[in-house]
């Protein structure tokens, strides 16, 4: 089997910022509650005429530059998102047009906040089978487009961003193990309605807008702490390694309490877990690639180091991958 590794990364977050003082001005909340319960200080918010494909395109351009490739070399584009510009066509097709990757196949994936890991693992399979050598994987979400800004339990969490990776066949390192999973029985823990007429779901939305996210926060949090630790342990074990071999864990940036809870279960110090949610909030599929990109830029690990990326999200879903950089 051919190994797949990350040859370049790029991230993008829109300019506009909603800080906690702004959140205090629109819902009954306060900076202290938000900081204590989530760790989030500010979120980047797309402009009115800025959509997921715009964020994804900018991140993709940066990843292409970082990898030093030409867009014509890209054979497949996978975009993980739950906030597409259109139900159809896919964001991936819009990105293909925007970056001029005319040789690439293109499709979107919906695994919510586990989307980037799911897309990366999918890309790896195309590479492992020798089908493609160069794949562009993007996690991009403009959650603000589907946020109920009357619901203080969710609106203080969400932000917009995109992160992209050029995934290439490699002789050294790359993805050593992975695990993706789902528990559809808990489909109703985080929802955003599309075509379905569902009065009970609509009732939960304070704004009455069916195209907004609703979630059972506390229940999701308990699941998240457990599954983040379990998925990390799973990929470490599958690779025949132990936690002491892992330089850094880059988790989905949903809530600092979730990350700290998972780190405690894994018995690892906070300096081995990357956190940047204070600046972005929860950006769904973008969260892990944006964090990974920043961890690279900050020199948190070097070539040859082993890291784990791990996430959970609506579905419910989860995904983890162990990468030798």
**Contact set with ligand UT7 (CB under 6 A):** 29, 33, 37-38, 113, 152-153, 156, 190, 215, 217-218, 220-221, 224, 254-255, 282, 313
Q: How far is the CB of 116 from ligand UT7 (least distance, A)?
A: 12
Which one, 132 or 213, has the nearer CB to ligand UT7?
213
Give the separation between CA 106 and CA 102, rounded to whole angstroms.
10
Cα 108 to Cα 56, 88, 257, distances in angstroms: 12, 10, 30
Q: How far is the CB of 58 from ligand UT7 (least distance, A)?
A: 22
Query: Which of 20, 155, 234, 252 is flagged as catalytic?
Result: 252
Which one, 39 or 71, has the nearer CB to ligand UT7?
39
Specify whether 252 is catalytic.
yes
DSSP for residue 115: H
Helices (H) then strands (E): counts for the chain: 11, 13
Specify whether 282 is catalytic.
yes
Which one, 133 or 150, has the nearer CB to ligand UT7?
150
Which one, 122 or 282, has the nearer CB to ligand UT7?
282
Closest listed residue to residue 233, CA positions, set 260, 263, 277, 205: 263
Q: How far is the CB of 21 from ligand UT7 (least distance, A)?
A: 13
Decide: 325 and 311 in contact? Cβ < 8 Å: no
The number of beta carbons lying within 10 Å of the beta carbon of residue 142 is 32
Cα radius of gyration rounded to whole Å, the chain:
18
Specify whether 113 is catalytic.
yes
Q: How far is the CB of 210 from ligand UT7 (least distance, A)?
A: 19
Q: How far is the CB of 23 from ligand UT7 (least distance, A)?
A: 7
Cα 69 to Cα 9, 62, 296, distances in angstroms: 12, 11, 19
Query: Which of 113, 155, 192, 255 is flagged as catalytic?
Result: 113
Which one, 23 or 266, has the nearer CB to ligand UT7?
23
Q: How far is the CB of 48 from ligand UT7 (least distance, A)?
A: 24
**Burial tier of 184 (Cβ tally within 10 Å: 0-12, 13-18, 19+):** exposed
Cα 142 to Cα 22, 246, 253, 281, 285, distances in angstroms: 18, 32, 15, 12, 10
Which one, 192 or 282, has the nearer CB to ligand UT7?
282
Give the separation between CA 286 and CA 294, rounded to whole angstroms.
12
The number of beta carbons lying within 10 Å of the beta carbon of residue 100 is 12
Catalytically annotated residues:
113, 252, 282
């Amino acid at each position: 089997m051919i190994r797949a590794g990350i040859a370049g990364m790029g991230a993008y977050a829109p300019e506009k910022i909603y800080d906690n003082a702004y959140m205090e001005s629109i819902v009954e909340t306060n900076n202290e509650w938000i900081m204590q319960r989530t760790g989030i200080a500010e979120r980047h918010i797309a402009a009115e005429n800025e959509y997921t494909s715009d964020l994804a395109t900018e991140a993709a351009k940066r990843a292409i530059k970082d990898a030093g490739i030409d867009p014509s070399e890209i054979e497949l584009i996978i975009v993980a998102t739950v906030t597409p510009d259109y139900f159809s066509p896919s964001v991936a097709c819009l990105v293909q047009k925007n970056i001029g990757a005319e040789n690439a196949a293109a499709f979107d994936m919906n695994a919510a906040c586990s989307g980037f890991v799911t897309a990366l693992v999918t890309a790896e399979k195309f590479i492992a089978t020798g089908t493609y050598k160069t794949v562009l994987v993007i996690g991009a979400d403009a959650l603000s487009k589907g946020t109920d800004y009357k619901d203080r339990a969710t609106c203080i969490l969400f932000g917009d961003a995109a992160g992209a990776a050029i995934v290439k066949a490699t002789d050294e390192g790359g993805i050593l193990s992975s695990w993706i999973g789902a528990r559809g029985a808990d489909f109703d823990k985080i929802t955003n309605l599309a075509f379905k007429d569902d009065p009970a779901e609509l009732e939960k939305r304070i704004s009455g807008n069916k195209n907004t996210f609703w979630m059972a926060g506390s229940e999701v949090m308990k699941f998240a702490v457990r599954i983040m630790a379990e998925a990390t342990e799973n990929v470490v074990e599958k690779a025949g390694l132990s936690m002491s071999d892992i330089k850094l864990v880059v988790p989905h940036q949903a809530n600092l309490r979730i990350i700290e809870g998972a780190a405690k279960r894994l018995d690892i110090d906070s300096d081995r877990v990357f956190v940047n949610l204070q600046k972005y909030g929860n950006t769904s599929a973008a969260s892990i690639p944006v964090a990974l990109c920043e961890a690279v830029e900050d020199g948190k690990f070097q070539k040859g180091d082993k890291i784990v990326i791990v996430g959970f999200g609506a579905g419910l879903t989860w995904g983890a991958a162990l990468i030798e950089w």
